[in-house]
A and B are shown apart, each in its own frame.
Chain A
């Protein structure tokens, strides 16, 4: 959108305002737009951090939530998580306030161009810390990181998105992620992500109908009626066909991974499929990250996967993986 300044500052100097005809639209900087979407997610997380239960000690509070992620992890990882949770429990108001402040700072830091790089760099470090101490490594180390439940952890995707959307001058073509990483590296990252997700859908408890059903049932409490209705359907499907659904999800992950090297129409089709599947998983299994029931710290992986897929959307006639040439820097 074409932009012209329009504050009352000019008006204060005696000017009147006018409404010119619609100005010419400049091409949208998609990398910047996606950075701002990421900032919005961080801001949302900061607001979630201010929920009253975050300031409560005990098993139902923030520290209890952190300590709960230690279960099932190797002993030394579990000890580190419990050590952090104990520290938080002793100063829960201070810790929760600090955590909220950090997330506000990251969100506004990304939004403000001058602090963009610092904020993104800090968000990577913070995300990895949250992934370890707040998400228990996303369940990876205990074999419970199925993508249905948000494996390998939303925080890991926050860090990945900060890398993929790292600011770099140039064109958004052939796809936004290539602007920062180059086509070759961006494609390699994409393949690695989807290979990991495909594996996680099949290993550990990811194929267990009981575990998958438990994901939905566990998130069902306090949900609004319409979402509880969806939960009943998804729980029924998962409890009867959990293993089949896990295989199908792994197949979708494989298709998503391979899609990026296919011709543009096929690439777009696989990306649409990927976004649709993970949107459904986010709604029907992850229960919108548990936000509507209270007790959520982030929206889980659904929106982050969709944002990541959007960063790989082919914008030109050339397919993303073709030629593996580097993007032109303006």
Chain B
């Protein structure tokens, strides 16, 4: 039986909790009136972060697998509908809703076909204790992993910060013609200003990149 180094699972588990915590903060920030954009992504990242942390460190797992399957099925349906609407509106493109639909599908499959403890390459990061018989189709797992890793790379390279949360078609009403993000108000640090800093598009993209890499890793381990 092989095993990963001791630091790896807690490292990725902590990263997932950080992503989930950040998504929770963004949800609170977005509770202000007129700031609905991206809430669905925040909900997705919050649930995925908590669920993935439990996969990397079984002691941190919360809730039954069946419950998570319901959650990710609902998210999958939501993002599929959003993807279709986005294509209808803007033409054929791969928007963030498509990527989040893929992420939801990957989560659903990871709960449906959990790693069997003791199988090749299994882990410390194993959803240990969950008995598994069937195995995720390796071809499908590979495709999902590659799509997620590509999403991480293309998000990092995108000139549009925040597109991983809001898509590239959204823009604030008061944004300049060049697409620059408006300056934050100067003066003493206000709640709104602090919220603005927390909700920086670069941070949103970073959380997406971390989530995609972690999910890609878990899928590779499950091949």
Contacts and interface: CB of A to CB of B under 8 A. Distances in A.
Nearest to B3: A52
Contact of A4 (B123, B171, B193): B171
Interface stretch (A36-44, A72-80, A127-135, A143-151): A36-44
Interface in A10-37: 10-20, 22-23, 32, 36-37
Contacts of A107: 153
Contact of B138 (A47, A55, A96, A292): A292
B160 A5 contact: yes
Interface in B125-146: 137-139, 142, 145-146
Interface in A268-296: 288, 291-292, 294
A185 B88 CA distance: 44
A53 B121 contact: yes
Contacts of B26: 8
Contacts of A195: none
A12 B192 contact: yes
Nearest to B2: A52
Interface of A: 1-20, 22-23, 32, 36-37, 39-40, 43-44, 47-48, 50-53, 55-56, 60-61, 93, 96-97, 107-108, 110-113, 222, 224, 226-227, 288, 291-292, 294
Contacts of B32: 11
15 contacts: A2-B168, A5-B161, A8-B30, A8-B196, A11-B172, A11-B196, A13-B183, A15-B174, A17-B37, A17-B170, A37-B150, A56-B2, A108-B156, A110-B153, A288-B139
A19 B223 contact: no
A10 B201 CA distance: 10
Nearest to B170: A6
A47 B215 CA distance: 10
A48 B204 CA distance: 26
A201 to B, nearest CB: 27
Interface size bracket, B side: 35 or more
A32 to B, nearest CB: 8
B142 A113 contact: no
A279 to B, nearest CB: 14
A66 B67 CA distance: 44
B157 A17 contact: no
A112 B161 CA distance: 13
B160 A294 contact: no
B157 A8 contact: no
A12 B195 contact: yes
Contact of B168 (A1, A16, A36): A1
Given A8-B196, A53-B121, A294-B121, A47 B145 contact: yes
Interface string B147-167: 001101110111111110111
Given A4-B179, A19-B169, A36 B121 contact: no
A25 to B, nearest CB: 9
Given A9-B196, A40-B146, A292-B223, A16 B173 contact: yes
A50 B217 CA distance: 8
Nearest to A35: B157
Contact of A11 (B3, B35, B161, B213): B35
Contacts of B4: 50, 52, 55
Given A53-B121, A56-B2, A16 B166 contact: no
Interface of B: 2-5, 8, 26, 29-30, 32, 34-38, 89-91, 93, 120-123, 137-139, 142, 145-146, 149-150, 152-154, 156-163, 165-175, 179-185, 192-193, 195-197, 199-202, 204, 213, 216-217, 220-221, 223
Contacts of B204: 7-8
Considering the complex of A and B, which 7 residue pairs feature the smallest CB-CB distances, nearest first? A7-B201, A12-B196, A10-B172, A8-B199, A7-B162, A6-B170, A15-B172
B174 A224 contact: no
A288 B142 contact: yes
B34 to A, nearest CB: 4
Given A8-B29, A9-B184, A55-B2, A294 B166 contact: no
B149 to A, nearest CB: 5
Contact of A36 (B153, B172, B185): B153
Contact of B199 (A7, A32, A50, A222): A7
Contacts of A222: 120
A7 B166 contact: yes
A13 B182 contact: yes
Nearest to B140: A224
A113 B158 CA distance: 10
Given A4-B160, A22-B169, A224-B137, A48 B220 contact: yes
